[in-house]
Structure 1
């Protein structure tokens, strides 16, 4: 298996990052949706937000790595049978997915650090506040976080449906390319 991408397909690193990020986004959304209704006396009242913040911070780092990798690694060529609008909409959707992940993770971080405190990532390290104390920041960041996460999950669903359409209807290699790493040339 090849680690890096080629013009024919994705390498192992891009595939692993893609699926880890997908699981993290879905898991963070589900955890966030669940934890907002926890009461003060619930055992998970403090633990769930700590886990949510930790995974969110790690997702930000993973996506920064993915963006770096995408800039400096080859991108697979579009599949020959794809129409131009499909290729353009796929590029636009990917760019918007990246943007929304960064908006969601940054706004989540700003919610947690608006009082000047840092975010502890599983107790391994702390990410300090970059804003200090800014009155009302958590409210603005909260609105941005709420809507960006809903938009992210909706777009991810459309993205998944598009991949399934290519696999089940068009019967092309679109989905297989993000499931199976390209083989090393011998």
Structure 2
């Protein structure tokens, strides 16, 4: 029973399930953006032009699956309460910021899918399986989908930076457990020291 409770969220802290899913999504997103920028810089005859776009698409499909797991996990777990001393406007901003991150990530993934399948071809995911194009959506809208993909990904990076700055502000200025509990550290013991 104790292991299950530690794996799941409680009203005061995040469980290991939420922590692992958070960091898997976060680190994947942070790695995908520079990879995408690098892909755009490649010339047609560059050897990487045949490899990196496939990696980017494959990781994108896996990220979509991971995001679905994350959202289901979020729905099935209690949401930990904000740490003591958090102002009401900070709670609202955090809530809107989190949903903004999810929404932008969905836009990035959907536009990437539409961009990648605009010619009617499926996406091969690391030669493990393929994600087919949806015939009604394969309308050769590569340019529009690519623009939406780039600008929504850039906006996602900016919002991620704000999210990170807010977490650092809580840790170094407020000296509360907002960041440490997402790192899996014992927030109650940390609160005693501050």
Instruction: Pick the TM interval, shorter chain.
Output: over 0.9
Given the alignment, which residue of 44, 49, 52 partners 1:45? 49
Consecutive unaligned residues in structure 1, runs of 5 or more? none
Q: CA deviation at 1:131?
A: 3.4
Q: Which range moved further: 136-145 or 54-63?
A: 136-145
| Equivalence for 1:157 | 161
User: Is the CA contact (8 Å cut-off) linking 2:19 and 2:183 kept in structure 1?
Assistant: yes
Consecutive unaligned residues in structure 2, runs of 5 or more? 188-194
1:75-117 deviation line (CA, Å, top 9, x unaligned): 1011121000000000000000000111101110110101111
Tell me the distance in 1 between the aligned counterparts of 2:17 and 2:185: 9
The residue matched to 1:9 in structure 2 has which SS? coil
Does 2:123 align with 1:123? no
The residue matched to 1:126 in structure 2 has which SS? strand
- Structure 1 residues 182, 118: CA separation in 2 closer, same or farther (over 3 Å shift)? farther
| Equivalence for 2:102 | 98
Tell me the distance in 1 between the aligned counterparts of 2:118 and 2:140: 8
Query: After TM superposition, where is structure 1 displaced by more than 2 Å over at least 4 residues in a row?
Result: 131-136
Does 2:81 align with 1:62? no
Q: CA deviation at 1:181?
A: 6.0
Tell me the distance in 2 between the aligned counterparts of 1:144 and 1:40: 22
Tell me the distance in 2 between the aligned counterparts of 1:182 and 1:12: 12
Structure of higher RCO (CA pairs closer than 8 Å, 6+ residues apart): 1
| Equivalence for 1:3 | 7
State the TM-score, normalizing by the size of structure 1.
0.94
| Equivalence for 1:26 | 30
Q: Give the number of aligned pairs.
A: 183
1:111-136 deviation line (CA, Å, top 9, x unaligned): 01011110011111100011357444
